[in-house]
């Protein structure tokens, strides 16, 4: 089975987990949403490429944007459509597809493109560059693109917030993330599928020569990856204050290295 087939199969099998993930990872969701809202125009034509089950797309559609969905997993697309129907929302389009090939889409057609997942799972630099190139091609001059990466420190953050006592059993995986910067699915019971990891300091260089001008680089959990689930139990008012704080410091070095997910936002040069 190819890498892409393994990724598709993994997400087809874990749709419910992925739907619930951004409820549990509320800081990642809240901080990323705040930055998107900062840069998006009042109404935009948006491609959510790697949309998963549609968490961001649902919010953006409800806010009045016209959103096209694309995801490698047909099951994720089906769940996104189902959730939209429950809410009385309609996506402009929603279909399964590969972020490396957007050849059915015209040039310069979108005000914004979200790529908040595909770069996690392409271990080939050439494949990652194809995703970036295709994203820039379909983006209008002056439009924004957002790309998410997984930090090579993510496994350590995750272990610390979930089960720090299990370091003996998980040390090999933590070191794999940190040093090899890739993971390959070992079996259907593996906790994660094929993936690529970055050092936060190296993300800007990925976009050199792509036609994108950096607007923001931030840590989605904003230095609080290890506290995210504990803070989720706070009353709404206190949680809101922590989210506001997280957004305010998300672009600092502490936030970049204290997060599991790193997000780059760029504008296409005219």
Which residues make beta-bridge pairs with 123?
Answer: none
Which residues make beta-bridge pairs with 94?
Answer: 69
DSSP for the chain?
Answer: --HHHHHHHHHHH-HHHHHHHHHHSHHHHHHHHHHHHHHS-SS-EEEEET-TTSHHHHHHHHTT-EEEEEES-HHHHHHHHHHHHHTT---SEEEE--TT--TTSPTT-EEEEEESSGGGS---HHHHHHHHHHHHHHEEEEEEEEEEEEETTHHHHHHHHH-GGGHHHHHHHHHIIIII-EE---STT-SS-SEEEE-GGGHHHHTTTTTEEEEEEEETTTT-GGGHHHHTTS-HHHHHHHHHHHHHHTTSHHHHHT-SEEEEEEEE--
Domain count, the chain: 1
Separation of alpha carbons 71 and 78, rounded Å: 10
65's CB contacts (< 8 A; 6+ apart) are: 40, 43, 44, 45, 46
Q: Model confidence at 190, in pLDDT bands (50, 70, 90)?
A: low
The whole model's pTM is what? Answer: 0.95
pLDDT above 90: percentage of residues in the chain: 83
pLDDT in tens, 41-93: 999 999 999 999 999 999 999 999 999 999 999 999 999 999 999 999 999 99
For the cut 70, the answer to whether the pLDDT of residue 185 exceeds it is no
For the cut 60, the answer to whether the pLDDT of residue 37 exceeds it is yes
Which residues make beta-bridge pairs with 110?
Answer: 139
pLDDT in tens, 89-147: 999 999 999 999 999 999 999 999 999 999 999 999 999 999 999 999 999 999 999 99
Q: CATH number for the domain including 65?
A: 3.40.50.150
Which residues make beta-bridge pairs with 37?
Answer: none
Rg of the chain over all Cα atoms, to the nearest angstrom: 18
* C-alpha pair distances (Å), 153 with each of 18, 202, 232, 261: 21, 13, 22, 9
Q: Model confidence at 188, in pLDDT bands (50, 70, 90)?
A: low
180's CB contacts (< 8 A; 6+ apart) are: none
Q: How many CA atoms lie within 13 A of 125 on its CB side?
A: 6
Mean pLDDT of all residues in 187-213: 87
Range of the domain at 78: 3-268
Mean pLDDT of all residues in 156-177: 89
Of 140-144, 231-235, 258-262, the one with minimum mean pLDDT is 231-235
For the cut 70, the answer to whether the pLDDT of residue 189 exceeds it is no
Separation of alpha carbons 253 and 47, rounded Å: 29
What pLDDT, on a 0 to 100 scale, did the predictor assign at position 191? Answer: 60
Separation of alpha carbons 180 and 177, rounded Å: 6
For the cut 60, the answer to whether the pLDDT of residue 186 exceeds it is no
Give the mean pLDDT of the chain. Answer: 94
């Amino acid at each position: 089975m190819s890498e892409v087939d393994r990724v598709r199969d993994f997400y087809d099998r874990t749709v419910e987990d992925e739907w619930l993930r951004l409820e549990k990872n509320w800081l990642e969701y809240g901080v990323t949403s705040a930055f998107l809202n900062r840069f998006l125009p009042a109404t935009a034509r948006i491609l959510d490429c790697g949309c998963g089950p549609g968490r961001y797309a649902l919010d953006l559609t409800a806010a009045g944007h016209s959103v096209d969905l694309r995801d490698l997993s047909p099951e994720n697309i089906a769940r996104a459509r189902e959730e939209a129907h429950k809410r009385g929302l309609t996506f402009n389009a929603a279909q399964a597809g590969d972020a490396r090939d957007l050849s059915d889409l015209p040039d310069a057609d979108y005000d914004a493109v979200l790529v908040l997942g595909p770069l996690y799972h392409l271990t080939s630099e050439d494949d990652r560059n194809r995703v970036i190139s295709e994203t820039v091609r379909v983006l209008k001059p002056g439009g924004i693109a957002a790309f998410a990466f997984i930090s090579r420190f993510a496994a350590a953050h995750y272990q610390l917030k979930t089960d720090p006592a299990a370091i003996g059993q998980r040390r090999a995986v933590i070191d794999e993330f940190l040093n090899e910067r890739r993971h390959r699915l070992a079996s259907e019971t593996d906790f994660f599928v094929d993936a690529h990891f970055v050092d936060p300091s190296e993300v800007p260089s990925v976009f050199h020569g792509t036609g994108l001008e950096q607007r923001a680089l931030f840590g989605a959990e904003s230095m609080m990856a290890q506290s995210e689930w504990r803070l989720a139990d706070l009353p709404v008012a206190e949680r809101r204050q922590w989210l506001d704080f997280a957004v305010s410091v998300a672009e600092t070095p502490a936030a970049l290295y204290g997060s599991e997910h790193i997000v780059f936002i760029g504008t296409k040069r005219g």
